Amino acid sequence: MYTRIAFLACICAAAGCAADTGWTAQPFTPAHSFTSGVEGPACDRDGNLYAVSYQRESTIGKVTPQGQASLFVEMPDAGRANGLRLDSHGNLIVADYFRHRVYLLDTKTGKFLENLTRDWKGPEFYQPNDVAIAADDTIYFSDPDWKDRGGAIYMIAAPPHRRTVLLEKGLTTPNGITVSPDEKHVYVGQSEAHNILVYDRNPDGTLRNKRVLARLPEGGVPDGIRCDVKGNLWVAIFGLGRILLVHPDGKLDDRYIQLHGKSPTNLTFCGKGGGGRTLYITETEQGRIEKFTAPDPGIR
């Protein structure tokens, strides 16, 4: 998520929004039940959905599988959350772009257990944005510098030896980030470069061999990313009102999900017990969550 106003002019005209793919998302929560800062989202094993900015900024909301939304927690120190992921214990990893931190939140008690980046001694993060996680609870997060079109990506090493590691700087507004189903790769979307990078993962969680996986249409801005079990990438395109489908070889599928609003920020797969076929999509124009049933299950 970022200040996107400059990107919105004439986006649909440039990208041809009228095309019909036969895939259309449906509203899940009422319009404006969330603010225009709605982001996240993350789904627990009971099918409950967490998303940020419920009714007002500095909050995280919780939505039942039936679509009933309520306030879950307030952010510490009037912070503002963006990316969310659940770890192997059901705790939420919360990126706070306003206070420049990444938290661990207990979903059972609603208590923030710790600042996972408290060990970091380098320059202050620009704006911790989106979060990815591996099976061993290694965390990755993007840190875009929207002012100068730069940014970096970081790793928080798996417990019990947590430490914050700079993986690469000098990127072009890194935003969406996710780990492949086989955990051999990490994908990073660069919003203002309109592409998706892919890295190979080392055994210690660090990354190598960066290359461009896919170049995306410039009619909108790539934001959140998730993988399905086949390794396909589902990419939210802000301003275009679409979720694009990118295959593991980087080929862009002709099919895409058309939303009711033009400004999707992020998405997650959901299903009771773990990843399922339901895609929940946060959308800022209408301040709500939309949903779609994907062809294949996803990974959370």
Residue boundaries of the structural domains of the chain: 5-293
pLDDT tens for residues 32-80?
A: 999 999 999 999 999 999 999 999 999 999 999 999 999 999 999 999 9
pLDDT of residue 6: 37
pLDDT tens for residues 239-279?
A: 999 999 999 999 999 999 999 999 999 999 998 666 799 99
pTM of the model: 0.92
Question: At the top level of CATH, which class does the domain 5-293 belong to?
Answer: mainly beta
Give the residue-averaged pLDDT of 218-231.
94
pLDDT tens for residues 140-186?
A: 999 999 999 999 999 999 999 999 999 999 999 999 999 999 999 99
Contact 283, 267 (CB under 8 A): no
